[in-house]
Amino acid sequence: MKAEEIRDWDEIEIEARLKELREEKFKLRFQLSMMELEDPNLFRKVRRDIARLETVKKERELVAIESDHIAEGS
């Protein structure tokens, strides 16, 4: 998943995917602690995907705040 792709999604899609990935991360954390995780890189990939989603979400929040400030200043 790339940030470019995520920017095309709407807020509902981002929130749904975040929820899925957080649940997956929770399950992977248990597998990792029990040494049952076959691909340790999967945990890292999920963590990074969550970070990408959060970054795009924060970018949108900042753009909204900035546009509000510009509108108030006009």
Over the chain, what HEC string results? CCHHHHHCCCHHHHHHHHHHHHHHHHHHHHHHHCCCCCCHHHHHHHHHHHHHHHHHHHHHHHHHHHHHHHHHHC
Residue 74 is predicted with a pLDDT of 57
Tell me which residue range forms the domain holding 19.
9-73
30 inside domain: yes
41 inside domain: yes
Total domains present in the chain: 1
Any idea what the CATH number is for the domain that residue 21 is in?
Answer: 1.10.287
Residue 67 is predicted with a pLDDT of 84
Residue 23 is predicted with a pLDDT of 98
Q: pLDDT digit of tens for each residue in the chain (74 aa)?
A: 888 999 999 999 999 999 999 999 999 999 988 988 889 899 999 999 999 999 999 999 999 898 888 877 75
pTM of the model: 0.86
Residue 69 is predicted with a pLDDT of 81
